[in-house]
Amino acid sequence: MQKIGMTTTVPMEVIYAAGMIPVDLNNIFITHENPQSLVEEAEIAGYPRNLCAWIKGLYTTTLQNEDIRTIIAVTQGDCSNTHALMETLEMAGVKVIPFAFPFDRDYDLLKLQMEKLIESLGTSWEAVQRTKARLEQVRQRVKELDRLTWQGDRVSGWDNHLFQVSCSDFEGDPEAFASRLDTYLAELPQRNPIKADIRLAYIGVPPIMDDLYDYLEERGARVVFNEVQRQFTMPFAIDDIVEQYRTYSYPYGIFYRLEDITRELERRQVDGVIHYAQSFCYRQIEDLIIRQKLKYPILTLEGDKPNKLDARTRMRLDAFLDILR
């Protein structure tokens, strides 16, 4: 089956309905045995050093995976640097299909984008709707995992992050993913409770460092809300697939995202918020709005390249947790 790369979440129902396999390039990049080497290879090719590491990682990841010769690139609703990423990949012989989430969440414009994607991949609305029902069975299991994260004490913030972020493509095999998740859920009662007296929310794009959640739990805090990762699961029960991707908050404005964030912070009774912003990303500017709108203690973290937490960031986390206590 043909693999289709994606620069971020798109209506994957269309890809599966076309008999193809969606591959979230971000997940391939960050789980590479040496993701920093992928960033450096892009810089050697000519990508600027003062550019988001995710874009550079996606570039090299696409070129190294020769079984991915077509990608769907989100040109509106994600990173503006994706435009240049598309052009450099086209020059390398990769076929690029653009997809745009309308900034104002206009239903008709979003439906038109999905129709163009359906036509481009050679499938139909009927097949897409059947695929939606198939994927909904998997999504229900992930919703249960998320519920157990904030209503129970045995799902770690990292596991919550990992399962939810994987919903951007279901690792190319929804049924195998569901089976792995079922096994995880079945083993939960035998796990030791996580001892943490501070409940945190993590908002913003997924972190580029991989030890944040473990570090927080070592310090007696745990993440009970992963904002963007949860959005990848399509957490709202909606029959209309266009409306489903119109409700999905990540590609739209910060004020719409804040509606969901505020609702979940109250529901999950968090003590503080970690806002993660990627270096050189326009979303860093939104931090000033978040700080004005959310009535919670907020720590803003910035990450650059795939790595571990540095000493300065660990010190800031320690100070933040001390304040919350």
Tens of pLDDT along 38-74?
Answer: 999 999 999 999 999 999 999 999 999 999 999 999 9
Is 282's pLDDT higher than 90? no
Q: How far is CA 30 from CA 33, 34, 35, 38, 259, in A?
A: 8, 8, 6, 10, 29
> What mean pLDDT do residues 141-160 have?
96
Q: Tell me the C-alpha distance between 206 and 69, whole Å.
A: 26
Label residue 227 exposed, middle or buried (CB < 10 Å: 0-12, 13-18, 19+): buried
Tell me, which fold does domain 3-125 have in CATH? Rossmann fold (3.40.50)
Is 80's pLDDT higher than 90? no
Better-predicted residue by pLDDT, 282 or 218:
218
Taking every pair of C-alpha atoms in the chain, what is the biggest distance, in angstroms?
Answer: 56
Do the bridges between strand 221-226 and strand 21-24 make them parallel or antiparallel, or are there none, so unpaired? unpaired
> What mean pLDDT do residues 236-245 have?
95
Its pTM stands at 0.94
Q: Tell me the C-alpha distance between 53 and 47, whole Å.
A: 10
**pLDDT interval class at 207 (50, 70, 90):** very high
Is 78's pLDDT higher than 90? no
Query: Hey, what are 235's tokens?
Result: 């957490």
Res 283: pLDDT? 87
**pLDDT interval class at 102 (50, 70, 90):** very high
Res 141: pLDDT? 96
- Amino acid identity of 264? E
Q: Name beta bridge partners: 74.
A: 99
Res 65: pLDDT? 95
Average pLDDT, the chain: 95
Query: Phi and psi for 82 in degrees, rounded to 5?
Result: -60, -30
